[in-house]
Amino acid sequence: MTFMKRVGRINVHAAVAAIICFSGSTGAQAASAADSILFAGVAFLDAPDRFPVARALIENIDRSGVPLNRVVLEALRRANIPIRLSLENSLRATALAFAFDDEYRIVERYGGSALKITTGISAQLLSIDFDGQVVKSAFPFLYEYVDVVEEEPGSDYAKQVASVMAPAFLDTTRAGVFQELIEMMQSLPSIDARCTARIMAIHPDTGTWSAARTRFGADSARMIRQLGAVLSRQLTTTARFPLLPMGDSRARAAMQARFANGEIYRLAIPTPDYDLIIDDFRTRRATVGRSASRRVDATGIQYALRVKALDSPVAAGEFRFVMLDTIPANKATSDPWGDVVSATKILTARIGTNTLRREKKWYDENELTKTAFPALPDWLLSKCVRQ
C-alpha cells in the first residue's frame, strides 16, 4: 500500500474551496468497485494556514510512520466498512474524503490567574458521488482539547496541542476519536439517498447568545456552525438521515478534488430538495434546588424544526427539553455553552429515535404545537433515505 506525499499549500477563492485528496493503489481488496467505497484521503476546505493545529497534527502523525489518511482508512476498515483505494471505475464510485473545515481557540480566565484554553478542530467526512460529481452527504466531526495554563500561549502552542492530541487520533479502536463519526455513517441503511436536505438556517434567541458568549465571544458564525454540527450529527445518527453540509459551510460552492494519478474532479454541493430551518432556538438556565452541599442547575432548550421544499412547508414541530445537573453548591459555572450543547444533543437524539420508532406517544408528550406527527416522521422515514 502506498500513499502520495501530502501537498503543503492550497490557494482558494471566496466561493471555491479546494480539496487536495490523496490515494494510492492496492491489490484486490475485500469488496468490488460495485459494492465498496473509494477512500479519497484527507483534505482542507479552506486555506491550510487557517489550520495551524491540524497541520501540526498531520505532521506529528506522519512522523509516527502512520499518516493520518491511513489512520482514517484503518478506522473505517476496523468497522467493516467496505473501503478501497484503487481509482479503477472511480466514476461509478462513492468516495469518502475527511476534510478539515474549521479550527478555533478560546481563552478564558480560570481560577484567578490561570487560563483555560479550548482548542477545537472540526471536519466533515464527505460522501461524494463521482457519477454526478456532487457531494451526497456530510458527517460532521468535532474534537476539542481543554488545557489550563498559567501564561499566555506562545507561538509554538499549536505544536504543543497537536502533540497531545496525536495519540487520540492514532487510535483506530472504539476508543479513538473517529468512532462517533464512523457510527454516524454506519447508522444509515445506505449512504445513498433519493433526495437531498440540509440545515439552512438556525435562529437563536438572546439566552442562547448569552450562554455562548464565554465560549465564542462575538463570533456568532462559529457558534451557529457548532450548533448546526450538533443537530446534524444527532439527526444523522438517530434518525438514520443523511444531510448535506450546512447552509453556511465554507464548502457551499464548488470543490476541486485532485487524486494521486493527477485526475481532477469538480465537486458541487447541490441545491437541496429540502431545507431544514431551526427557528426560535431558546435557552434558559436557572438553579432549581439547593442544599448546604449540593445544588441542582437546570438548562432548558426549545426549538422549532421546519422542513420546506421550494418555500412550501412540508412538516414542522416545536420541541422542548430540560436537563438537570447536580453539582457542588459552591461550584461556579464557567462555561454554560457545554450544557447547551449537551441538552441539544439529548433533545435532537430523542426526536430522531422516536421518529424512527414512530412513537406517537412521545410526540404527544413532547411536541408543543401538536403538529409534527405524523408529517415529520413520514418525511424523515420515507422521503430521503433508501431503507
98-107 average pLDDT score: 84
pTM over 0.85: no
Q: Which of 81, 35, 45 is nearest to 182 (CA)?
A: 81
φ, ψ dihedrals at 320, nearest 5° = -140, 145
Q: Which residues pair with 148 in a beta bridge?
A: 116
> Quick one: three-class SS letters along the chain?
CCCCCCCCCCCCECCEEEEECCCCCCCCCCCCCCCCEEEEEEEECCCHHHCHHHHHHHHHHHHCCCCHHHHHHHHHHHCCCCEECCCCCHHHCEEEEEEEEEEEEEEEEECCCEEEEEEEEEEEEEEEECCCCEEEEEEEEEEEEEEEECCCCCCCHHHHHHHHHHHHHHCCCCCCCCHHHHHHHHCCCCCCECCCEEEEEEEECHHHHHHHHHHHCCCHHHHHHHHHHHHHHHHHHHCCCCCCCCCCCCCCCEEEEECCCCCEEEEECCCCCEEEEEEEEEEEEEEEEECCCEEEEEEEEEEEEEEEECCEEEEEEEEEEEEEEEEECCCCCCCCHHHHHHHHHHHHHHHHHHHHCCCHHHHHHHECCCCCCCHHHHHHHHCCECC
298-302 average pLDDT score: 92
Percent of the chain with pLDDT over 70: 76
In the block, which residue shows the cell 444533543? 345
Same domain, yes or no: 237 and 267: no
Which residues span the domain enclosing 336? 197-243+273-387
If one counts every other C-beta atom within 10 angstroms of the C-beta of residue 7, the result is: 14
User: Is the pLDDT reported for residue 3 higher than 90?
Assistant: no
Same domain, yes or no: 96 and 223: no
Number of domains present in the structure of the chain: 2
Q: Which residues pair with 116 in a beta bridge?
A: 108, 148
Same domain, yes or no: 108 and 234: no
pLDDT at 326: 83
Same domain, yes or no: 284 and 208: yes
Same domain, yes or no: 137 and 154: yes
109-129 average pLDDT score: 82
Same domain, yes or no: 218 and 361: yes
Percent of the chain with pLDDT over 90: 23
Cα gap 233→179, rounded to integer Å: 13
Same domain, yes or no: 82 and 137: yes
Same domain, yes or no: 29 and 176: yes
Print burial letters for 47-70: b (CB count within 10 Å at least 16), e (below 16). ebebbbbbbbbbebbbeeeebbbb
Q: Could you say which of 252, 271, 290 is where a domain stops?
A: 271
Q: Which of 349, 351, 380, 344 is nearest to 368 (CA)?
A: 351
Q: Which of the residue ranges 34-38, 88-92, 347-351 has the most confident prediction, judged by mean pLDDT?
A: 347-351
pLDDT at 276: 92
Same domain, yes or no: 185 and 323: no
pLDDT at 23: 31
10-63 pLDDT tens trace: 222 222 233 333 333 322 333 333 456 777 778 777 777 889 999 999 999 988
User: Is the pLDDT reported for residue 1 higher than 50?
Assistant: no
Same domain, yes or no: 166 and 217: no
Same domain, yes or no: 23 and 83: yes
User: Is the pLDDT reported for residue 128 higher than 50?
Assistant: yes
176-225 pLDDT tens trace: 888 878 877 776 665 555 677 889 999 999 999 999 987 888 888 888 98
Grid coordinates standing for 130? 463521482
Q: Could you say which of 271, 290, 321 is where a domain stops?
A: 271
In this structure, what CATH number is given to the domain that contains residue 210? 3.30.160
User: Is the pLDDT reported for residue 263 higher than 60?
Assistant: no
Same domain, yes or no: 28 and 75: yes
pLDDT at 267: 61
pLDDT at 39: 79
